[in-house]
Chain A
Amino acid sequence: MSEITVSKVLMSETAPMEVLLPEGDVLVDEDRPWAVIVWNDPINLMNYVSFVFRKLFGFGQAKADKLMRDVHEKGRANVATGTRSECERHVHQLHSHGLWATMEHDE
């Protein structure tokens, strides 16, 4: 019984947020590409960051190392682009690996 109650609470929390958005805006929002950004942090090891890029995105070592160096030296790197849901999935996977990832509209 308690599990059903929890899922009802979650549904009622999330559903209205989408309903409240004007329909046109939702379409435009979904159509605009998003970018996944990984930010530099002082803790994650360099070889770990490269490994996570290879594992999650299937990059070769050279591309993974290049992006890792961009993160380290420039402070951030764009590691993927796509729809909002694709990027959210990437961000979630990066978060589960402890990387500092955010998403924003790809300009």
Chain B
Amino acid sequence: MSDHKEQPSGESEDSDGLGPEELEQDSEVVFRPLVTALDSGRFRMDFPDNLCQLLVSLAEELDEVLDSDSPDLTRLFPTAYADDPDMDAGYQILARGQLVDHRRAAIETVRESMDSKELDEEQLNSWMLVINDLRLVIGTRLDVSEDDELMFESPDPEDPNSYLTEVYRVLGFMLGDIVDALTGALP
């Protein structure tokens, strides 16, 4: 697994004194959450417009390849019965189409709500699912491993994958903020 917070070691979580308050005193540019739960139960979205446009264009690309057998999609359609290929074939017959439909519906919600400055919980949930799917696809393409610290390293301009790596990082920060906001809204 990977941690979207700024410490790569994973040792320090939320209780290390580096909360938003402490950082705010030192710097204008902080890791301020870009998704905020409102008293109304809705969520204010402060992602820059160009990020939302990037998200929608990536989501549309994903929509186009969802039916394909691209190896990049492996993590979207995992095996259910690891040690029984026959049972798994039965599961896949029923599940695969539903998983595709579910993902398409979430992409459609993101497309419809990309310009909204406020989302309801259901819409934000769709954003979360689409961004996570994109990270799974891009991370698979990049062959991300547990030891990689892509979230924390500066991109290497010599790397032919540097753009994709940067997209993966940015999606990780977006997802982290969305998940924190949705977690805070859980009963």
A residues bordering B, Cβ < 8 Å? 10, 13-14, 17, 40-51, 54-55, 61, 68, 71-72, 88, 91-92, 95-98, 100-104
- Give chain A residues whose Cβ lies under 8 Å from the Cβ of B129: 96-98
Number of interface residues of B (CB under 8 A): 44
Q: What DSSP secondary structure best describes chain A's contact surface? A: helix
- Chain A, residue nearest B134 (CB): A98
Contact A47:B183 (CB < 8 A) given known A40-B1, A42-B1? yes
- Chain A, residue nearest B78 (CB): A100
Asked if residues A41 and B1 are in contact (CB atoms below 8 Å), the reply is yes
Which 9 pairs of residues, A with B, have the shortest CB-CB distance? A43-B139, A42-B146, A102-B82, A72-B1, A47-B179, A91-B80, A98-B132, A46-B1, A96-B102
- Interface presence of B182 (CB below 8 A): yes
Asked if residues B183 and A50 are in contact (CB atoms below 8 Å), the reply is yes
Contact A103:B81 (CB < 8 A) given known A47-B180, A48-B132, A72-B1? yes
Q: Which of A45, A54, A100 has the most CB of B within 10 A?
A: A45
14 pairs, CB–CB < 8 Å, chain A vs chain B? A14-B90, A14-B93, A17-B86, A43-B1, A43-B140, A44-B2, A47-B4, A47-B176, A49-B1, A55-B186, A71-B1, A91-B91, A98-B129, A103-B80
Asked if residues A102 and B78 are in contact (CB atoms below 8 Å), the reply is yes
Q: What DSSP secondary structure best describes chain B's contact surface? A: helix
Asked if residues A42 and B172 are in contact (CB atoms below 8 Å), the reply is no
CB distance from B96 to the nearest CB of A (A): 9
Q: Mark B167-179, 1 if CB is under 8 A from A, else 0.
A: 0000010011001
**A-B pairs with CB below 8 Å: how many?**
110
- Give chain A residues whose Cβ lies under 8 Å from the Cβ of B99: 92, 95-96
- Interface presence of B38 (CB below 8 A): no
Asked if residues B186 and A54 are in contact (CB atoms below 8 Å), the reply is yes
- Give chain A residues whose Cβ lies under 8 Å from the Cβ of B1: 40-46, 49, 68, 71-72
Asked if residues A98 and B133 are in contact (CB atoms below 8 Å), the reply is yes
- Chain A, residue nearest B80 (CB): A91
- Chain B, residue nearest A48 (CB): B179
CB distance from B51 to the nearest CB of A (A): 17
CB distance from A60 to the nearest CB of B (A): 9
